[in-house]
Amino acid sequence: MPGAQNFAALIRELHTELRQNGPRDRGIERGRWRGLAHELTAHRIKAPQEFLDWAKRDRHWSFTLAEVMRESHSGPWELASRLLTAMLDELEDERETREPEVPAEALGPGAPLFAD
């Protein structure tokens, strides 16, 4: 469909932008991070109903959509914005889980890997 928004690319772009503003685990508490995410998402979704339809068809994001739909919302724009915010939050949770708490280079040569 000409002019259709690439939602997967939009999600990646917004997650990268949020990470540049400061990762959640390094100074920005979760509530503030989610507020910034919600603010960014509200201005980026061009066609909320198309976004919601895309999320319904996506095997991964359809579960996130179902969770978001349990909360009250005022219409497609608000629901789409809440959904995109929840997606970004989930991606950040996954990123935090994958990354080690202490970077390997911080340990230095000869540093013990495990505490005695």
pLDDT, tens digit, for every residue of 59-80?
999 999 999 999 877 788 889 9
Residue 50 has pLDDT above 90, yes or no: yes
Residue 109 has pLDDT above 60, yes or no: no
Residue 9 has pLDDT above 80, yes or no: yes
Evaluate the CA torsion angle 22, 60, 3, 79 in order and state its sign.
negative
Q: How many helices (H) and strands (E) in the chain? A: 6, 0
The 3-state DSSP composition of the chain as helix, strand, coil percent (nearest 5) reads: 65, 0, 35
CB 83 within 8 A of CB 68: yes
Residue 82 has pLDDT above 80, yes or no: yes
| Domain spans, the chain | 7-94
Q: Read off the pLDDT band of 51 (50, 70, 90).
A: very high
> The whole model's pTM is what?
0.71
Q: Read off the pLDDT band of 100 (50, 70, 90).
A: low
Residue 15 has pLDDT above 90, yes or no: no
Round to whole Å and give the CA distance between 10 and 54. 12
